[in-house]
Amino acid sequence: MKIKFFLLVFILGLANIGNGQSDYKNLKVLDPTIEKSELKLLMNGYAKSLGVKCVFCHVRDAFHKDDKEHKLVARKMIAMTAGIRADLKKTFPKKDVSEKFNCAVCHAGSTDPEWAETH
């Protein structure tokens, strides 16, 4: 699984280089050509799934900065989720259930999933 994670991050990084610059200053895991409205929907989904506001991960008025540890963790979690979705597509090729897997599956509105404390 670690190899898949690093491979995914590497591929996403190459995609960022290949697409050139965008209006966003520091997208490292997400597609740099993402539309503003799509990015806002995605970020709102992350916030809702964890029960947080934007400043949980981002520096107010400086969203591009990597000053908060939660932002760095979020990047890893986004890549992890993408890897799990890819595995689900391979495991269930006739019925794509991968899009049903998202942050809320584990987090359920909390920054610390309850089940994580028992493992």
CATH number at residue 48: 1.10.468.10
pLDDT band at 25 (very low <50, low <70, confident <90, very high): confident
Number of domains into which the chain is organized: 1
- How many whole angstroms separate alpha carbon 92 and alpha carbon 32? 29
pLDDT tens string 61-84? 999 999 999 999 999 999 999 999
Beta-carbon contacts of residue 104 (< 8 Å; ≥ 6 apart): 48, 49
pLDDT at 44: 97
Q: What is the pTM of this model?
A: 0.74
Q: Hey, what are 24's tokens?
A: 């966003």
pLDDT at 7: 47
List of E strands, 6-101: none
Residue 18: pLDDT above 50?
A: no
pLDDT at 119: 54
Identify the domain containing residue 13 by its residue range.
Answer: 2-118
Q: What are phi and psi of 77, to 5 degrees?
A: -70, -40
Residue 20: pLDDT above 80?
A: no
Among 79, 70, 85, which residue's Cα sits nearest to residue 28? 79
* 73 SS3 class: helix
Q: Work out the number of other CB atoms within 10 angstroms of the CB of residue 67.
A: 9
Q: Work out the number of other CB atoms within 10 angstroms of the CB of residue 104.
A: 16
Q: Work out the number of other CB atoms within 10 angstroms of the CB of residue 73.
A: 12
